[in-house]
Amino acid sequence: MIVPMKKVTVVVQSKDADSTLKELGRLGVLHIEHQKAPASDNIRELTLKYQSLLKAIEFLPETKGQNRAVRGEPQALIDQIISLTDEKEVVTENLKKVNQNIEEWKDWGDFSPEEIEDLEYENVRIQLCKITAKQFKNMPEGVIVEEIFRKGNIRYCAVISHEEVELPFKVLDLPEESLSQMLASRGEREDRIKLIEKRLLELAGQKEKLLLYKKHLESLIEFDQALTGMGQFEKLLYLRGYCPDENIKILEKTATDQKWGLLVEDPGDDDSVPTLIKNPRWVEIIRPVFQLINTIPGYKEVDISMWFLLFFSVFFGMLIGDAGYGLVFFIINAVCHVKFRKSETAKPLFILMYALSICAMIWGVLSGTFFGQAYLAKRVEPLLPLLRNNNNVQALCFFIGALHLSIAHAWRFLRNLPSVKALSEAGWICMLWAAYFLAKSLILGGVFPELGKGLFITGAALIILFTSPRKNVLKGIGSGVGELLMRIVNSFTDVVSYIRLFAVGAATVAVADAFNQMASGVGGNSILAGFAAALILLFGHTLNILLGAMAILVHGVRLNVLEFSSHLNMEWSGMEYSPFKNKGD
């Protein structure tokens, strides 16, 4: 349920601005809407500190167990972490160059570039070259060629002469260091990187302190933004925001005690009202899915959490479609739940996964599917044999689609009452069930019944007459005809799109059976054959489970967020309710 909001304006004297914000932060009920762009030197300075802090936390390595806590002020720790990380980046880049030079010159042996350059003063010129067999035959007179090593047809040589000779091939530039110096340089850099990593690991013991400092900075930034974003009228300051209707009495009492001016009114059509959703505990378990896909309905839209949960559970069961896979999900979830049992934020996700796993197991039991159908479950009779028939499952998919989308239009019907426009939504419900019968007829080879024809005619009439009722009847009818022509095909294709539940579920069973057959073909006549069969089963079913999980995100979410929501005319344009509150001292 989307919680009703009130638009609130708080008026105070300039001298009371700080104390007012502190009190509002303590209450934590007002979502503040800035009256002007919040900007100040202090905000810019705090923002830079916050960005540095985020970088420092990101750079700290993950640790196992407890590390020795390192004393120090948060800002000094941040500067040290960033300095060490920057140094590590530079040293690592230098190490790459040194390794490249070692790889390039290791076959030449250990020589001193300085000594070669000094020999020029003694009229001895040494040039290092890469020479092909053809170039080797065309060597100029007056030079001595010493082959150092050879790779393929390329000879790596030292060309020695008493005078400067122009060679008809490329001469290599001497390295800056000898090979022994390069190796020593590599060792120094590797040692330095190890020391930096050791120090960063020690500093990781301060991660909790930095996270607390992060909350502190967030609170300071939010406070300064609220302060500089207040509107001004002569010697008075005011701030505006939105408060849940259920918390208005708390705000009014505080305003009386603090002697604030307070205006409470209903939000207007042009107001950007934040969305706060509250549902029963059993519905709240679906919230992690909405957080994952980062969607929130607009304040004037509807909350589909309950229907999302109910149908998403059905979709999960059909898409996974295997009692064995459902059991795997259940066990993995139970293990994670025990490991992270102290995490209150993860608790709804664990409960959701228990429910979804049970749905997959129920569908698997009904259809007789346990790690496939052809082998491991061939002696298991399905509890509902009808689900072994593809036509029956496809028809069920069309039925679920028509039902799901009809709920969306029934919801719009209720929201449009008492306007006669509500009857157009009844017309679309008729159209959806006509589409259901048409899908069965065209795809499954059934006969389009008279009931389907009646639904089509009734639905078309209601849509044409009541989509846009006007005084000018002809214009209203014209608008209804346009709406019908634009959306009738989409309604049919949307119902048919639910066949993906059958397609993905059938593919899951087919892949499981294929790997079971491969493992059976390998046989179990020896330990080695048994081991190979076990590996095939482990790999195949693991891959199939991962593909099923991806299908849930792609298809299970899509049918709710796109098909269902589009029939509800939802745009998911919401802004989450985020009350101003003190996060830390």
Instruction: Kindly list the distances between the CA atom of residue 29 and the CA atoms of 6, 108, 298, 477, 575, in Å, as whole numbers in the listed order.
Output: 11, 74, 19, 48, 16
User: Domains plus CATH for the chain?
Assistant: 1-36+229-276 (3.30.70.120), 38-105+180-226 (no CATH), 111-177 (no CATH)
**Which pLDDT score is estimated for 422?**
92
Structure tokens at 150: 């050879």
Tell me how far apart the alpha carbons of residues 305 and 286 are, in angstroms, rounded to a whole number. Answer: 7
Tell me how far apart the alpha carbons of residues 272 and 574 are, in angstroms, rounded to a whole number. Answer: 9
Tell me how far apart the alpha carbons of residues 364 and 543 are, in angstroms, rounded to a whole number. Answer: 18
Is beta strand 231-233 parallel, antiparallel or unpaired with respect to 154-161? unpaired
Structure tokens at 168: 């008809």
**Which pLDDT score is estimated for 98?**
95
**Which pLDDT score is estimated for 262?**
93
Strand blocks (E) in 433-510: none
Tell me how far apart the alpha carbons of residues 514 and 319 are, in angstroms, rounded to a whole number. Answer: 18
Q: Is the peptide bond before 113 cis (omega within 30 degrees of 0)?
A: no
Q: In the chain, which stretches have pLDDT less than 70?
A: 64-72, 374-380, 471, 523-524, 583-585
For tokens 């609170």, name the residue. 219
Calculate the CA dihedral of residues 566, 567, 569, 570 and round it to 10 degrees: -50
Instruction: Kindly list the distances between the CA atom of residue 121 and the CA atoms of 110, 124, 177, in Å, as whole numbers in the listed order.
Output: 22, 7, 20
pLDDT tens-digit series, residues 524-570: 677 888 888 889 889 999 999 999 999 998 898 989 988 999 999 89
252 and 30 in contact (C-beta within 8 Å)? no
- Tally the C-alpha atoms within 13 A of residue 251's C-alpha that lie toward its C-beta: 28
- pTM exceeds cut of 0.85: no
User: How is residue 562 annotated by DSSP?
Assistant: I
Structure tokens at 363: 């569908």
100: amino acid identity, one letter: Q
Contacts 24+ apart (CB under 8 A), 333-336: 333/357
What is the C-alpha radius of gyration for the chain, rounded to an integer number of angstroms?
Answer: 36
515 and 374 in contact (C-beta within 8 Å)? no
Q: What region does 63 belong to: left with phi over 0, alpha with psi -120 to 50, or beta?
A: beta
Tell me how far apart the alpha carbons of residues 202 and 196 are, in angstroms, rounded to a whole number. Answer: 10
What burial class does residue 51 get, using C-beta atoms within 10 Å of its C-beta: 0-12 exposed, 13-18 middle, 19+ buried?
Answer: exposed
**Which pLDDT score is estimated for 376?**
57
pLDDT tens-digit series, residues 64-97: 655 555 566 888 999 999 999 999 999 999 999 9
**Which pLDDT score is estimated for 103?**
93
Q: Edge-to-edge strands of the sheet including 144-151?
A: 125-131, 154-161, 144-151
For tokens 């896979």, name the residue. 325
54 and 40 in contact (C-beta within 8 Å)? no
Q: Which residues contact 576 (CB under 8 A, 6 or more apart)?
A: 274, 275, 276, 296
What burial class does residue 479 get, using C-beta atoms within 10 Å of its C-beta: 0-12 exposed, 13-18 middle, 19+ buried?
Answer: middle
183 and 102 in contact (C-beta within 8 Å)? yes
Tell me how far apart the alpha carbons of residues 464 and 486 are, in angstroms, rounded to a whole number. Answer: 12
